[in-house]
């Protein structure tokens, strides 16, 4: 007889236990984006929207806030309440203060630049020459430019001279 003991499991020996898996604490894993990434995305979209609105002139941020973008001669009082400007005014102020030249409140480097700017604007506007406290040389230089352009471009200039 053949020995059938080889095919039978040992009676005193048990099969090895299955390998133990380390029991980990199951962390609840969320699927999809986290709350932080959603908030970051919303912040980026909000900033992008503000930039687009600002670039298109629908909102005003910074120094020019409160000056509005009115149309057709709408007057707006600036925050310092010292001057009233008109968005589409028909009057352009040319001001000489000491030795500085200003065109509608913006400083101009010299009389040649003033001449270029007025040439660009053309004769559709009236020019108001304000010169209280002006240095004589600068006054004469600006007045000469305005007189030349008055003849060449047919612009209208109010010199505000009480003595002339």
pLDDT tens digits for range 104-117: 889 988 988 988 88
Say how far apart CA 94 and CA 117 lie, in whole Å. 11
Domain map (residue ranges) of the chain: 34-63, 87-158
Contacts of 142 (CB under 8 A, 6+ apart): 94, 96, 101, 111, 114, 129, 131, 134
Say how far apart CA 133 and CA 152 lie, in whole Å. 28
Give percent above pLDDT 90 in the chain.
Answer: 9
CATH code of the region 87-158: 3.30.420
**Within a 10 A sphere around the Cβ of 85, how many other Cβ atoms?**
13
pTM for this structure? Answer: 0.45
**Bridge partner list, 96:** 101
pLDDT tens digits for range 62-85: 655 554 444 444 444 444 433 444
3-state secondary structure of 81: coil
Per-residue confidence of the chain (164 residues) as pLDDT tens digits? Answer: 555 555 555 566 677 776 666 666 666 666 777 888 899 999 999 999 988 888 887 877 665 555 444 444 444 444 443 344 445 678 888 889 888 899 888 998 898 898 888 888 888 888 888 888 888 898 899 899 888 888 888 888 888 876 54
- For residue 145, give Cα distances in angstroms to 56, 77, 148: 36, 30, 5
């Amino acid at each position: 007889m053949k020995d059938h003991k080889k095919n039978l499991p040992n009676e005193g020996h048990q099969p090895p236990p299955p390998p133990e898996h380390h029991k980990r604490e199951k962390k609840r894993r969320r699927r999809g984006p986290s709350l932080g990434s959603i908030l970051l995305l919303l912040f980026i979209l909000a900033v992008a929207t503000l930039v687009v609105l600002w670039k298109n002139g629908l909102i005003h941020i910074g120094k020019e806030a409160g000056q509005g973008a009115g149309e057709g001669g709408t007057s707006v009082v600036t925050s310092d309440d010292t001057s009233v400007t008109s968005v589409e005014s028909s009057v352009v102020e040319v001001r000489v203060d000491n030795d500085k030249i200003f065109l509608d409140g913006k400083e101009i480097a010299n009389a040649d630049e003033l001449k270029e700017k007025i040439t660009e604007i053309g004769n559709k506007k009236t020019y108001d020459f304000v010169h209280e406290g002006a240095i004589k040389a600068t006054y004469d230089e600006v007045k000469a430019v305005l007189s030349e352009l008055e003849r060449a471009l047919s612009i209208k200039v109010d010199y505000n001279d009480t003595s002339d």
